[in-house]
Structure 1
Amino acid sequence: MTISIIDSASCMSRVLAADTDDRADLLRDMWAPMAGMYHFIPGGVDMATVHRQNFGFPPDSATEQVREGLEALVAADAWARVERALKDGVAALTAADPGATIPDLTVLLTLGDPANEHFIDEVRGLAAFGGISGYIALTVWPTSRVLDRLEAIAVHELHHNVRYSPGGVVWDPRTVTVGEHVVAEGLADVFASELYGDAGYTHFVRDDTRSDDHVLAKVAGGLGVTGMGDFAAWVLGDSSARLFGADPVGLPTGAGYAAGARFVRAYREATGASAAHGVRTPASDILRVALPRLGLTGGVAH
């Protein structure tokens, strides 16, 4: 397999140096190698819109802040670090599950919008997506915490990518459950922690959320919910649900990540199977073991 890291440092430099009227097209050029993520949409999508929907930096404002953010990413050797981390993650997954499909990867690392309060304050400068086989998009703001976690952020998305590649778990938008999404986030976080220690855990989840038994029980009660429109509330929490036009359910930011990690750790303790080994394990298998060990009942995902 090959890992193709888009030279988005050069792309972003061109955007920032261009006339304002030309910047949207240059953003489209930067995102063009990622267009295959949307192969299922007839006629494709406008990649400048995709950039914006992923909290990408605005082409017509905050230019000086974005320039400083780019300098911080370059100084941190971010692109090389992401590539090395993905190679290490691939090695770990291949060793744990030799039958897993490791796709060729196209990877885009880009800066987010420093003026977006939700992106900066609620999800702490991180919006990443790796759920479509072959593509990983990392949108970040280079706070010290994000820079410390670059490797963990990358392999978290890698775990998703392999899980939803051919031969892995099928994500059917019509039937997928909150349980699958929660378990997937837990597996990805625990996998990152197996490689990078505590830095593996997604940093926009508060420590008290991770240990809150009420949050755990609340998420367990929603595991059987279907319909992706509701997933933001159960996985990302009420703040994200409101942002995306979904109904809040009474959960803090990152509740699904916190619960998912506890489910996966309980399963690992019971079976000895690492999160790397569980990359293709059905959520129903993990929950069937984890829920009783945690003293919970819930709708088990299939």
Structure 2
Amino acid sequence: MNKLITLIVLLGLPSISFAKTDCFETLIQDVGAININDATHLALASAYSRSLDSSDKWAAGITVPIKGVPVDLTGEGQKRVLETVTSSFAAQFSSNRLVSMSTQKLSRNAVAAFDICMRGANRTGTVVYAFDATHREITVEVSWNASAGGPTEAPADIQVVNGEFTSALPDTFSTGTSYTTVVRREPGEDVRVIANIGGTSSNAVIYWVPTVKIETTRVTAFIDGPHSGKRWRLANMGDGREHSILGMCDYPPNGWSVVPGSASINISTRVGAIDHRTYARITEQTPDKVCFDGRVYPLDRHGGGDIWWRPSYQMEKVDVIVE
């Protein structure tokens, strides 16, 4: 059974109100690319998606390269796959956990900038930042700023659960000071750093990082017609006039994409007195749809003539598995 494991919860972040979309857009630009094989990148795309007031804005905000797409797609096609994978990934985690996943590998400055963007600057009290996390170690910074008119020095009680500090933090803090240490984590365990200074407290929870695996499934889809063998047919109706089927389109099910260049038409029958201009052909294929036209040109009213065909294409689904 796959085990869904969450990552960092930034210190003291309240239940996140995703009003500040620009904070996530800045993170996306800082990361520089989104790799669908990286849980932190999927979390960032998911958190950004939840911050929007309209899902229509999602693709427009993803301006960095998308990597790891196992389908031969570019541009909007890659965004479609990313959106599908992101939706599946996001459904497994709360908004706060998505935020924590998005930030756990970032530098100290990036974590601080995001925290300020979300909660504002010039905060008083205790602040804990956890950053540069790996499976073995986490860097932790603890700072304290006294409230206006309050004591400028205070006792500190700083503890770690499921890990150990590689160097001790002081038991007294002066206002405006900060100290950094490294926590050596216990393999497979979630780490919690708790700081109580001068009557204020904060904490950071650093969850064990899951592994993301991307699986693809490819199948052949047929665009079935109403005639024998699920084929499409055009024939001389005895009037000598041309007849056509135009603008017929097929759309893959939700979560599936058309494999580029895979659509084709199998013309199984082409007989009788029909002009060489008679055709059945694919007119459009995008990640979202495949369209085709057919037209028959009889040579005369009495010569008969038929064309039978069946279109098909390859479609692919990308699934994300969190282990």
* Shorter-chain TM-score range: under 0.3
- Higher-Rg member (1/2): 2
Q: Which has the higher contact order (CA 8 A, sep 6+)?
A: 2
Query: Normalization by structure 2: what TM-score?
Result: 0.23
The structure with the largest helix share of the pair is 1
Structure in which a larger fraction of residues adopt strand:
2
TM-score normalised by length of structure 1: 0.24
